[in-house]
Chains A and B, each alone.
Chain A
């Protein structure tokens, strides 16, 4: 059974940093791309970042480029996102997701999210 368990969320001041983790089990972690998707309170879903199975390719939404870094440790079956220079608009539930069916274009190989964690709340206070 695929399980994704996020941790590391909490309250942080504007301009601060936070690192989220996602512990994965039930599948061969290193084989699959992984992503972070967030949802601000009462709002819709927003894709944040993705990383290939090897970790060699990473992709970001424009609003987090230069501030967030997605990474993975395949020996620990764990996905991370380091979030720096946090802003009020980064307040959201952050979901870790496993990549499923995908499509490759000139921008890279993107995938649907076929399994999701329960999410971890990040609150940035101003």
Chain B
């Protein structure tokens, strides 16, 4: 199975900050990667798929990049509603796998 390793595991930042989360795959997956946001007690929400394509309705401050084994999720200017846990997911091959998550907290 393809393993995904996210870094950092947790991150403290302030409103207005630019934040980058990375996801590294154990083998090349082209751009077949998605990012999700999950708030406490809620279901995850799809943000980005195909490494850089923004899902409908997702604010443009979110962006994704990367291919092969290294990927990034960037939030250009943090808003209060962005404090959550973020997961990457590969759907290049079964079994589908998720990263362990990055918890983004308010500084």
**Separation of A91 and B94 alpha carbons in the complex (Å):** 23
Query: Is there an interface contact between A112 and B43, defined as CB atoms closer than 8 Å?
Result: no
**Separation of A118 and B42 alpha carbons in the complex (Å):** 7
Query: Is A85 part of the binding interface, using a Cβ–Cβ cutoff of 8 Å?
Result: no
- Interface stretch, picked from B18-26, B62-70, B73-81, B95-103, is B95-103
Minimum CB–CB distance for B52 against chain A, Å: 12
**Separation of A61 and B53 alpha carbons in the complex (Å):** 27
Query: Is there an interface contact between A112 and B100, defined as CB atoms closer than 8 Å?
Result: no
Query: Is there an interface contact between A45 and B46, defined as CB atoms closer than 8 Å?
Result: no
**Separation of A46 and B95 alpha carbons in the complex (Å):** 10
Query: Is B45 part of the binding interface, using a Cβ–Cβ cutoff of 8 Å?
Result: yes
Q: List CB contacts (< 8 Å) of A16-69 with chain B.
A: 35, 37, 44-47, 50, 59-62
Count: A-B pairs, CB below 8 Å: 69
Query: Is there an interface contact between B49 and A116, defined as CB atoms closer than 8 Å?
Result: no
From DSSP, what is the main secondary structure of chain B's interface residues?
A: loop
Minimum CB–CB distance for A104 against chain B, Å: 10
Q: List CB contacts (< 8 Å) of B29-54 with chain A.
A: 32, 34, 36, 38, 43-46, 49-50, 53
Query: Is there an interface contact between A59 and B44, defined as CB atoms closer than 8 Å?
Result: no
- Closest-by-CB residue of A relative to B43 is A116
Query: Is there an interface contact between B44 and A113, defined as CB atoms closer than 8 Å?
Result: yes
Query: Is A100 part of the binding interface, using a Cβ–Cβ cutoff of 8 Å?
Result: yes
Q: List CB contacts (< 8 Å) of A61-113 with chain B.
A: 61-62, 95, 100-103, 105-108, 110-113
Partner of A45, one of B32, B87, B95: B87
Residues of B within 8 A of A95 (CB): 43-44
Query: What are 28 pairs between A and B in contact, CB < 8 Å?
Result: A35-B96, A45-B44, A45-B89, A45-B98, A47-B95, A47-B96, A47-B97, A47-B98, A50-B96, A59-B94, A59-B95, A95-B43, A101-B49, A103-B92, A105-B92, A106-B93, A107-B93, A107-B94, A110-B96, A111-B91, A112-B89, A113-B36, A113-B46, A114-B46, A116-B44, A116-B45, A117-B43, A119-B43
